[in-house]
Amino acid sequence: MTKQNTLDPLALWKSMYEQTESHFSEAIHETLKTDEYAEMLGQVQNSFLQYQQLVRSTTDMYLKQINVPTNEEMSSVASLIVNLEEKVDSIDEKIEDELSSKEVSLEITKLKVSVSKLDKKMNQVLQASDQLDKNMNQILEVLTSNKEETPAETTSSQPKDKK
């Protein structure tokens, strides 16, 4: 049997990768360690930051021209709304406290008036009770005085027996 000699691209690529990978890896590590690379990376970063600032300022100018608020303006409005909500809550609590204290004061005043009326009625009842006691005492005195007089009168008014 004869050996077929076919070209396998995958095996060829794998072989080439294995031979060059270590060389490329070593070269990249050496490049990353150099000051020139760090300086170049700093320049790229500065360029990106300048580009980002340019995009931000251009976007802000565009948004101002079409009357759309920026993120900063929206944050400012949101902060104002939160502060306003806190003030409204504070005022609401104060109003509730005032109403509560006014209601309590009103109830206390009503109770004082009711107690005063009850006190007057109680005084009237006590005066009537005292008057009843006096009247009862007078009636008892009259009854007892009549009772004492009555036996004497009955003995004197009875006819005497004739013997």
* pLDDT, tens digit, 9 for 90 and up, residues 38-90: 999 999 999 999 999 999 999 989 988 999 888 888 999 999 999 999 999 99
* pLDDT, tens digit, 9 for 90 and up, residues 88-144: 999 999 988 888 888 888 888 899 999 999 999 999 999 999 999 999 989 888 888
Instruction: Specify the pLDDT at position 1.
Output: 47
DSSP 8-state assignment for residue 33: T
C-alpha to C-alpha distances, 43 to 28, 38, 47, 52, 107, nearest whole angstrom? 19, 9, 6, 14, 78
Enter the tokens of residue 53.
Answer: 């600032």
What is this structure's pTM? 0.38
Q: Is the pLDDT of residue 26 over 70?
A: yes
70 contact partners, CB below 8 Å, separation of at least 6: 59, 60, 63, 64
Instruction: Specify the pLDDT at position 154.
Output: 53
